[in-house]
Amino acid sequence: MIKFKPINREIKKVLVANRGEIATRIIRACKELGIKTVAIYSEADSKSIYVKKADEAYLIPGDPIQAYLNYFRIVDLAKQTKCDAIHPGYGFLSENPEFAEYCLKQGIIFIGPKPEHIALFGDKMAAKKKMRELGVPVLPGSDEPITDIKKAKKIADEIGYPVILKAAFGGGGRGMRIVRKESDFEDMFRSAYNEAKKFFGRGDVFIEKYVENPRHIEVQIMADKYGNVVHLGDRDCSIQRRHQKIVEIARSPSLKEEVRKELYRASVKAMFKVGYENVGTIEYLVDENDNFYFIEMNTRLQVEHTVTEMITGIDIVQMMIKIAEGRKLDFLQEDITMRGYAIEFRVNAEDPSKNFAPSVGLITSYHSPGGPGVRVDAAAYKDYVIPPYYDSMIAKLSVWALTWEQVVNRARRALDEFIIRGVPTNLPLLRAIVRDKDFIEGKFTTKYIEEKLPTFNLEDKARDLEDLVAAIAGAIAAYHRI
């Protein structure tokens, strides 16, 4: 990859190449920095709040998903509207090295890491190899994609079953298979390969020792262009369903201080050595004996950045912009303090009683929680129509308090305050989690949802009441013939 000179200049106008709550989040950061914003939107998003919040907004007609992916068009628009920079948010173009490179080539600042680092960490095998060289613990496995089943079986035999097969260019659990015995290996490899090929266009699959019941813990990294690297603590993202995170916590309530210290030390050192720039998240698996292993790195702003902002007081999105302008970090590691605990809940438009089928349509009432230690980042509002084309996350509720006990208590209160009617949401599941004894005690692993879901009662009580009210209203209307 050709290296382009970094562009260091003041950012006065930003094109936000995203939609929904994260577009709003980026616009808010820009407003506080006195930066003008340009939004893009598809036809389906024309009634979205972020479109109104931006200084300018442009419709990208045609396919509702391509609107946020067609980067020639987006960069063209950025140039036409005299933007200095593009913020990609998460998803869409955020981890596309060709896009980041194209921005630089066209003289537009890409608010994020260097293209070479996006490319390096986009290849999970290459990332693992690099991190091992930099002294970060990784799990035993293969360094090359599987091409020869016999050789692959030999590697699996050496590291011992169970092993996991992973797509080198994958994500979201796609192209991933757990293999518990040699006789399953070949079938599992073929299905992993085919799935990876189908979804990512590249079928490369590698082997790794499988960790039973891990915790998923990640470290937030921030680095300027001058080799100053800091961490902003960790997040426990163990609570997931089908590889979708639902609840994220800063900091992990179950990580021992000596393990945490080592996790931070290894992470910062590796990012310094690799010359990383802007923000990134290093994901680890932590086993039952508190050993941690690097699994992958995300070279973007993450959905769950809010909880890190709450415990550190640092505005991560503003820092991304300042770093991209070529400014030095204006604080040292020892200036960063982590206070209390924060939990983020992803409120999704999906029906827990119908196997989490995505729900679309009109939101008939919407009341978001507030009060001390409560933050809401939302795309939804009363009368908003949820389009069918995108992710089902319509709001993020983040709560903060000084102690773990207080933050869980506050979360219960805030989740109970949240009213969204018209479409089913996963709020009943989130309310069940904050009432669960193991969650309250800070005991959870990646198996949590799978194990707990059958024990939760997810009927929506308010919805029953609403149905009753509607039935009574109907009966009265019929009686009076109105």
Using CB under 6 A as the criterion, which residues of the chain lie in contact with ligand MV4 when the complex forms? Answer: 139, 164, 173, 176, 178, 208-211, 214, 216, 240, 243, 285, 295, 446
The length of the chain in residues reads 482
What is the C-alpha separation between 292 and 335, in angstroms, rounded? 26
Q: Which residue has the tokens 């109104």?
A: 52
Report in angstroms how near the CB of residue 408 gets to ligand MV4 at its nearest.
Answer: 22
SS3 392: coil
Report in angstroms how near the CB of residue 463 gets to ligand MV4 at its nearest.
Answer: 30
By C-beta, is 139 or 423 nearer to ligand MV4? 139
Report in angstroms how near the CB of residue 177 gets to ligand MV4 at its nearest.
Answer: 9
Q: Return the structure tokens found at 450.
A: 């799978």
By C-beta, is 110 or 185 nearer to ligand MV4? 185
Report in angstroms how near the CB of residue 172 gets to ligand MV4 at its nearest.
Answer: 7
Give the relative orientation of helices 149-159 and 182-200 as an angle to the nearest 10 degrees: 120
> Would you call 235 a catalytic residue per the annotation?
no
Alpha helices (H) along 313-452: 316-324, 404-417, 427-433, 437-440, 448-452
Of 148, 157, 26, nearest to 94 by C-alpha is 26
Within 10 angstroms of residue 221's Cβ, the number of other Cβ atoms is 25
- Active-site residue among 19, 260, 300, 375? 300
Dihedral sign from CA coordinates of 429, 431, 435, 437: positive
Q: Which residue is nearest to ligand MV4 (CB)?
A: 446
Contact residues for 413 (Cβ-Cβ < 8 A; gap 6+): 369, 371
By C-beta, is 115 or 203 nearer to ligand MV4? 203
Report in angstroms how near the CB of residue 249 gets to ligand MV4 at its nearest.
Answer: 15
Contact residues for 4 (Cβ-Cβ < 8 A; gap 6+): 101, 104, 105, 115
By C-beta, is 24 or 446 nearer to ligand MV4? 446
By C-beta, is 285 or 343 nearer to ligand MV4? 285
Check if the beta carbon of residue 399 is closer than 8 Å to that of residue 347: no
Catalytic residue numbers? 300
